[in-house]
Chains A and B, each alone.
Chain A
Amino acid sequence: MVQWDTGYAMDVLPALLEGLRVTVLATLIAYAIALVLGLVWTLLRRAPNVVVRQTVRWITEFIRSTPLIPQLFFVYFVFPDWGLTLESLTAGIITLGVHYSTYTAEVYRAGIADIPKGQWEACTALNLPRSRVWLDVILPQAIRRVIPTLGNYLIATFKDTPMLLAISVHEVLFVAFDEGAKTLRYLEPLTVAGLIFVLVSVISSIIVRRLERRYATN
């Protein structure tokens, strides 16, 4: 039986915060990839060519319905065979970003479907060119509507970063486990790691709720 040792918890804290730096870095870059690539998927799904539409549809469906960990293995172990060797953090960030882009694509899609039909009709009536229809009418309204939902996916991305330890990215949980393995006392590092996650998630979900109120459309 082990007693909780606050001194030890304090000792491992700096290492965990270093891990948190990696976690946050991975989250932000992966999320940026997801935001951009998701929009690309959505627009491609509205392409005039049916082959493009269906291909994109099944690719995103495939990525979205398979787990992150085997995807990480695929990118980290298979890509070198094809001549593309990635460092574990890079592989992790790319995989996480592409994985979540399939979620953000659904969000954008729902946001666009939510635009009243009259807006499209007005565009036709005004004879606006296609680029202006998208850039000046549809996307500004659609994106505004989905900002809170997209915010939730930032939190979701953050909470999926521990899985990067499967390819030994030194994020919070990896560091916590590593510190625990040195002394065979896992209780303190893992508990502190868990608390870090709860703290960051709760704070960010409060921020998202603020966003929701600010961007509420009805």
Chain B
Amino acid sequence: MSEVLSNDQWLEGAWTTIQLTILGALLALVLALAFGLAGTSRLTWVRALNRVYVEFFRGTPALVLLYWFFYALPLVGFRFTPIVAAVLALGLNVGAYGAEVVRGAINAVPKAQYEAAIAMNFTPLQRMRFVLLPQGVALMLPPFGNLLIELMKATAIVSLIGLVDLTRVSKNLQSSLGETVTVFAVVLVFYFVIAQLLQLFVRYAERRVDRMLGRRGGHEPSLESVAAGAPGAGVSG
């Protein structure tokens, strides 16, 4: 038991998992904002861009994307390091869910807000920057929090292309120490702790935004937010 716990490999593995979570989340956030806002555009071809990206990358499991980036693409001349392939696969996949969240949140800001911004002669950029986005962000945060945890969990797939993350470490330790029960119980607890920490961070961010907008935070999950955070879900509206 102590032999399992005091092993230095855990730290290395945890660092890989955290690194992939952060990098993947950054890429996903950028893609989600870019393609999500594209989805609220008035131009048909810009909206089409959003649809193609979302349907394609939401429809492909992250693991399939990862294998494709790592094993198939090098054959046509694109070679990625495992880390880059992993960040791309995770970011593109989670970004597609995020884009749906962004699109849904912007569309859910009451229409009168949009009309008021037009009446005050705001430019489209100002409308987005000062009126729609700040209110949309409050709606985006709970589903984004779910997605962040989904992303953290999804990083476990990198163990299958040889990156040494927490999951890989548990498998390696199982082979070398043979303490199957302890090793796999410990790795699950590690993931659970990371998920709880992320949860705390998300709650904190939600409170900050609510205060910024002068709202009271009541966060009993509604049916919509559960639906919006679903790994297979789209946001209606």
Contact = CB atoms under 8 A, between A and B. Distances in A.
Interface of A: 1-2, 62, 65-71, 73-74, 77-78, 81, 103, 106-107, 110-111, 113-114, 145-146, 148-149, 152-157, 159-163, 165-166, 173, 176-177, 180, 185-187, 190-191, 193-194, 197-202, 205, 209, 212
B124 interface: no
**Interface of chain B, main secondary structure:** helix
Contacts of B153: 65-68
Given A68-B156, A156-B230, A197-B64, A81 B180 contact: yes
A3 B75 CA distance: 9
B157 A202 contact: no
Contact of A69 (B67, B157, B234): B157
Interface stretch (B2-10, B34-42, B128-136, B181-189): B181-189
Interface in B55-106: 55-56, 58-61, 63-65, 67-68, 71-73, 75-77
Nearest to B160: A166
Interface stretch (B25-33, B112-120, B206-214, B215-223): B215-223
A199 to B, nearest CB: 8
Given A113-B220, A149-B233, A197-B64, A69 B159 contact: yes
Contact of B75 (A176, A185, A199, A205): A185
B170 interface: yes
B226 interface: yes
B69 to A, nearest CB: 10
Contacts of B160: 69, 165-166
A65 B191 contact: yes
Interface of B: 55-56, 58-61, 63-65, 67-68, 71-73, 75-77, 149, 153-157, 159-160, 166-167, 170-171, 174, 180-181, 184-185, 187-188, 191-192, 195-196, 199, 220-223, 226-227, 230-234, 236
A144 to B, nearest CB: 12
A149 B231 CA distance: 11
Nearest to B194: A65
Contacts of B187: 70, 73
